[in-house]
């Protein structure tokens, strides 16, 4: 991936520290809060479900959108993650970033293959 398709180190660091970010596909939807992880300097989110009207499907239909965190909004392109290696790394990233007892239900759920298949990488646009 070219450096033009990567966030700056400052943005990646801020996203790595963020617990929840807002995501929005296109311009028509409201922002939805999701957990974010950084793996290999790349930004990933995962959908809990695959509802036809959910944010994940919206990004599949319209990959251009925005994320919001730390008071800033950034335009992004959402790309489905097909690599099993990266999906596994994202699952491990969730387990490391969200280690609390109350988070474990969600971490285990995100590691299930059906949910791992709903992984999206965000790149700047």
How many folded domains does the chain comprise?
1
pTM of the model: 0.93
Which whole number is the average pLDDT over 63-68? Answer: 96
User: Looking at residue 28, what is its pLDDT?
Assistant: 75
Mean pLDDT over the full length of the chain: 93
Q: What is the mean pLDDT of residues 84-106?
A: 97
Averaged pLDDT, 30-44: 96
Q: Has residue 4 got a pLDDT over 60?
A: no
**So what's the pLDDT on residue 1?**
53
**pLDDT at res. 124:** 97
What pLDDT was estimated at residue 68? 97
Residues 6+ positions from 117 with CB-CB distance below 8 Å: 87
What domain range is 89 assigned to? 3-124
**The domain spanning residue 100 has which CATH number?**
2.30.110.10
Judge whether 38 and 16 are in contact, CB under 8 Å: yes
């Amino acid at each position: 991936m070219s450096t033009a398709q990567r966030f700056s180190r400052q943005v990646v660091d801020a996203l790595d520290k963020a617990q929840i970010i807002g995501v929005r596909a296109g311009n028509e939807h409201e922002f939805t809060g999701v957990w974010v992880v950084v793996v290999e300097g790349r930004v990933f989110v995962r959908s809990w479900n695959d509802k036809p009207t959910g944010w994940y499907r919206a990004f599949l239909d319209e990959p251009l959108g925005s994320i919001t965190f730390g008071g800033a909004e950034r335009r992004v392109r959402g790309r489905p993650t097909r690599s099993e290696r990266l999906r596994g790394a994202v699952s491990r990233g969730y387990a490391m970033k969200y280690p609390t007892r109350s988070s474990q239900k969600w971490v285990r759920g995100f590691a299930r293959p059906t949910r791992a298949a709903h992984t999206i990488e965000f790149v700047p646009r």
